[in-house]
């Protein structure tokens, strides 16, 4: 039997060591926030936050290695045992004039005053070195009931920080918790405040939802609330239109042959099967296909959400491949499939096939077998080079080389020409002659 502590237990214990060092020096200190919530729920820990009565300069003086990450707001990063711990002085906040950040921060001496400034009751708990839970707002009750509830009035919390509306949705979907009526009403009432939040923060929250355990529920909340029509950088019109159709019960999505078609609202989560697609990029692609968003508008959405170039290329590629495959009739599916694979690449083709399989898309079963039979999928795999074409054909270098190599790639992939130099040179000459006719 292995009695070694796991990674979460080690992180928790090391956090308590930091708390113990603060307390041994005469300060109050607690583990607070999300780590306490996740610890009580038996979830994996991502980081450890600590609240203390010690001022930032006192924290810096006490520990050997620190980083002054947010002195204005009382935060010091303590580096201990190979980990980093955010240590923040007990504080109160006031005057959220930009619906995002407090205008004033005041250090206090009571942890309960610090917990009072937090967003949700299950995030407003603290645990001290003795294991006693400080829970002045009923966070444990919310966990037992499976609900998202705010500390105090929901409208006040969302007015202070508009990003909290997205966090409420993320927690509700991730934990399979119910958004209490006053929470939902406050989200709808204050949704226009989301315009004050940088699009990068909105994108990060939405992306966490798509990567979480309840992406279909999160999208339902996002679309129904109208939040996404109130972002600082407007989403593409087609995306907004699809969201509005869903919001007003005019449209939901279900896979049909090669795409998606209108169906009853309950099918949205069941048919998309987003939880079965564990890769967030695949979930994004499935969602955009389901919303019938074009390749061009998908690219614009990824740009608006400030996604990385690598992720955008993959997501947009899958959407584009689906868009192209819709144009092929079943009788010409094999040829169309091979041409699209050449255009988007093998990895995108694999992704597209998985999405179709998971989301009940209808496609020719042989498609995966045909993919494995494609001998070449990139020009670099051809057994002929551009300079060899120039020498054999006797024509000055120019754009014709790229065109000819692409034609040869398709000919080999489709099985019309073998991938040997002699056959490729002959085929290239014939193709050029046909173009001149």
The CA distance from 14 to 295, in Å, is 48
- Is the pLDDT assigned to residue 5 strictly greater than 90? no
pLDDT of res. 111 = 96
Q: If you write DSSP's letter for every residue of 297-348 in order, what string do you get?
A: HHHHHHHHTT--HHHHHHHHHHHHHHHHHTTS-GGGHHHHHHHHHHHH-HHH
pLDDT at 228: 96
From the CB of residue 289, how many other CB atoms can be counted at a distance below 10 Å?
A: 27
pLDDT value for 273: 65
| Crossing angle of the two packed helices 333-344 and 309-325, in degrees rounded to 10 | 170
Banded model confidence at residue 437, pLDDT cuts 50, 70, 90 = very low
CA 147 to chain centre: 23
β-pairing verdict for 49-52 and 83-89: parallel
97: pLDDT strictly greater than 80: no
- The answer, yes or no, to whether residue 80 has pLDDT greater than 80, is yes
pLDDT score, position 171: 98
% of the chain at pLDDT higher than 90 = 69
> In the CATH scheme, what is the code of domain 1-140?
3.30.460.10
Q: In the structure, what pLDDT confidence band is assigned to residue 115 with cuts at 50, 70 and 90?
A: very high
Identify the residue whose tokens are 């500390």: 151
CA atoms within 13 A on the CB side of 76: 21
Q: Is the pLDDT of residue 234 over 70?
A: yes
pLDDT of residue 66: 95
Q: Which of 246-255, 369-378, 394-403 is predicted least confidently? A: 246-255
Instruction: Decide if 210 contacts 280 (C-beta within 8 A).
Output: yes
Separation of alpha carbons 146 and 262, rounded Å: 32
Q: Which of 121-125, 269-273, 407-411 has the highest mean pLDDT?
A: 121-125
Average pLDDT of the chain, as a whole number: 88
**What is the average pLDDT across 240-265?**
59
**Domain map (residue ranges) of the chain:** 1-140, 379-436
Distance of CA 19 to the CA centre of its chain: 33
pLDDT at 222 over 60: yes
Reported as a single tens digit per residue, the pLDDT across 274-329 is 778 889 999 999 999 888 899 999 999 999 999 999 999 999 999 999 888 877 76
Asked if pLDDT for residue 13 goes beyond 70, the answer is yes
* Nearest-angstrom CA–CA distance, 323 and 260: 11
Q: H or E stretch including 238?
A: helix 237-247
DSSP 3-state of 49: strand
Going by pLDDT thresholds of 50, 70 and 90, the confidence category of residue 333 is confident
pLDDT of 265 reads: 37
The pLDDT score that the predictor gives to residue 98 is 59
Which has more pLDDT, 28 or 362? 28
CATH number of 379-436: 1.10.246.80
- Name the residue among 232, 210, 216, 333 with its Cα closest to residue 279: 210
**pLDDT per residue as tens digits for the range 255-276:** 443 343 333 333 333 445 677 8
Common-topology check for domains 1-140 and 379-436 = no
What does the pLDDT read at residue 269?
A: 36
pLDDT at residue 429 in the model: 87
**Comparing C-alpha atoms, which of 141, 205, 199 is closest to residue 168?**
205
Return the ∠ at Cα 402 (arms to 400 and 405), rounded to 5°.
Answer: 105
C-alpha to C-alpha distance for 44 and 419, rounded to whole angstroms: 52
Q: What is the pLDDT of residue 21?
A: 96
**Stretch 220-225: mean pLDDT, rounded?**
93
**Do residues 59 and 66 lie in contact, with contact meaning Cβ atoms separated by under 8 Å?**
yes
How far is the first Cα of the chain from the last one, in angstroms, to the nearest whole number?
Answer: 79
Rounded to whole angstroms, the Cα distance separating 149 from 172 reads: 10
Number of H helices, E strands in the chain: 21, 13
Q: Lowest mean pLDDT: which of 23-32, 90-99, 103-112?
A: 90-99
Structure tokens at 399: 């754009």
């Amino acid at each position: 039997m292995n009695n070694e502590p796991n990674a979460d237990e080690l992180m928790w214990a090391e956090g308590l060591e930091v708390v113990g060092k603060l307390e041994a020096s005469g300060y109050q200190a607690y583990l607070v926030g999300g780590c306490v919530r996740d610890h009580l729920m038996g979830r994996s820990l991502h980081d450890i936050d600590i609240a203390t009565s010690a001022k930032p300069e006192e924290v810096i003086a006490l520990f050997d290695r620190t980083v002054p990450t947010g002195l204005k707001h009382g935060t010091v990063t303590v580096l201990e045992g190979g980990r980093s711990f955010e240590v923040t002085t007990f504080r109160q906040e006031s005057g959220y004039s930009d619906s995002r950040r407090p205008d004033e921060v005041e250090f206090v001496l009571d942890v309960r005053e610090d917990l009072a400034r937090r967003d949700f009751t299950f995030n407003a708990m603290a645990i001290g070195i003795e294991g006693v839970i400080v829970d002045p707002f009923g966070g444990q009750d919310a966990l037992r009931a499976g609900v998202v509830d705010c500390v105090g009035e929901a409208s006040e919390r969302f007015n202070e920080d508009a990003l909290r509306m997205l966090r409420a949705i993320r927690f509700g979907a991730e934990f399979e918790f119910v958004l209490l009526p006053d929470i939902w009403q406050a989200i709808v009432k204050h949704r226009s405040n989301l315009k004050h939040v940088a699009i990068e923060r909105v994108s990060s929250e939405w992306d966490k939802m798509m990567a979480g355990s309840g992406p279909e529920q999160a999208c339902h909340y996002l679309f129904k609330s109208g939040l996404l029509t109130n972002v600082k950088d407007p989403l593409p019109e087609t995306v907004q239109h699809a969201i509005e159709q869903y919001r007003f019960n005019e449209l939901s999505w279900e896979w049909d042959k090669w795409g998606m078609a209108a169906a009853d609202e309950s099918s949205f989560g069941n048919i998309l099967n987003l939880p079965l697609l564990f890769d967030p990029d695949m979930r994004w692609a499935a969602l955009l296909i389901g919303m019938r968003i074009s390749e061009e508008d998908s690219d614009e959405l990824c740009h608006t959400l400030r996604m990385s170039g690598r992720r955008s290329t993959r997501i947009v590629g899958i959407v584009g491949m689906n868009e192209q495959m819709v144009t092929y009739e079943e009788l010409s599916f094999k040829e169309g499939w091979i041409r699209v694979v050449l255009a988007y690449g093998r990895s995108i083709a694999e992704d597209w096939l998985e999405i179709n399989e998971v989301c009940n898309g209808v496609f020719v079963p042989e498609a995966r077998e045909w993919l494995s039979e494609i001998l070449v999928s990139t020009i670099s795999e051809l057994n002929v080079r551009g300079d060899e074409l120039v020498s054999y054909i006797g024509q000055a270098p120019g754009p014709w080389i790229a065109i000819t190599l692409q034609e040869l790639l398709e000919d080999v992939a489709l099985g019309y020409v073998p991938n040997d130099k002699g056959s490729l040179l002959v085929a290239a000459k014939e193709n050029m002659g046909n173009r001149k006719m």
